[in-house]
Amino acid sequence: MVLVLSLAGGASAAAGKLEAGTAGVVILDREKVAPGEAYTADGADIPAVVTWQDAAGNTHSYLPVELLAEYLNIPVFWSEKRNSVVLGVTMENAELEGHVYPGGEKPANPSEPELGQTVGPFTEIDPGTVNTQEGPTGIDEDRTRVQTATGFTTGGAYISENGTHIVLTVTNNGQTAVSCLVGRDRVLGRFERFRTVDIAPGETLTRAFVIAGGTTEEQAGFTCIVRGAKASDTADVTVSLMQYK
């Protein structure tokens, strides 16, 4: 079990009192794990808190790294090279661009999203399954017209308490294809993405996503980026981004 020291001080097996799984965890005034409950990591129940009281009576608490990383939306992995737990993006775990393609050109993106793909608390679904008749519960963009050579970015934090669905609509008003990239922003540098979809001139793309229950604001950063399919192209688009029940 990977543990992180949450209070200053070391733990020694030679003296003091060790307890596992008796305390709970509260993060940002929200109860994450109740006292005595286990925390599930990789399909196994493990102690949520290990407390150590040293010979001087000072109490030190240790939490699983996975617990904090999950709640605070931080990428975490184990580095064999460094023999270390690594939080955040490094050259070892970064998703790098710059592939070499046959013929020298990157192939065109598909024109349809991948339904059922899940990124963090969001899952892409058929837009026809979303009830939009009662109107949105939140609006980030309402038929916003943009002309840009560098790309247009929009989004926000979407939690299920405000509505369980996100609907994104992009109309390509230009003469060249545009790309629609959506995903989740993560703390300390990583962007988790859904399938990037190209939109032909004159076409409209609608994408919808369901939000998992219990999603916190720290986990709920949803971002949409619209730009020319080719770096040299200017995008001329109309964008709507709304939340529904």
Q: Residues 49-78: pLDDT tens digits?
A: 999 888 888 989 998 888 888 777 777 878
Rounded CA separation 239/205 (Å): 10
Nearest to 52 by CA among 40, 44, 60: 60
In a domain, 64, yes or no: yes
pLDDT at 75: 77
* Domain shared by 67 and 152, yes or no: no
Domain boundary, last residue among 72, 93, 127: 72
Low-confidence ranges of the chain (pLDDT < 50): 1-13, 96-99, 101
Backbone angles phi, psi at 168, to 5 degrees: -115, 130
Q: Residues 127-161: pLDDT tens digits?
A: 999 999 999 999 999 999 999 999 999 999 999 99
CB 73 within 8 A of CB 122: no
Backbone angles phi, psi at 200, to 5 degrees: -70, 160
* Domain shared by 23 and 135, yes or no: no
Domain that holds residue 46: 3-72
* Cβ-based neighbour number of residue 34 at 10 Å: 11
Rounded CA separation 64/104 (Å): 45
* Domain shared by 120 and 240, yes or no: yes
Rounded CA separation 244/224 (Å): 17
Domain boundary, last residue among 12, 38, 72: 72
Rounded CA separation 122/27 (Å): 22
* Domain shared by 240 and 133, yes or no: yes
Rounded CA separation 168/65 (Å): 34
* CATH number of the domain encompassing residue 184: 2.60.120.260
Model pTM?
0.69
pLDDT at 117: 96
Amino acid 3 reads: L
Rounded CA separation 182/168 (Å): 10
In a domain, 92, yes or no: no
* Domain shared by 66 and 124, yes or no: no
DSSP for 69-102 reads HHHHT--EEEETTTTEEEES--TTT--------G
Q: How many domains does the chain have?
A: 2
* Domain shared by 30 and 141, yes or no: no
* Domain shared by 47 and 119, yes or no: no
Burial 158-187 (b: 16+ CB within 10 A, else e): bbbeebbbbbbbbbbebeebbbbbbbbbbe
Residue that has been written with the tokens 């605070």 in this structure: 72
Nearest to 137 by CA among 165, 95, 156, 109: 165
Nearest to 112 by CA among 27, 37, 206, 14: 206
* Cβ-based neighbour number of residue 216 at 10 Å: 18
* Domain shared by 163 and 214, yes or no: yes
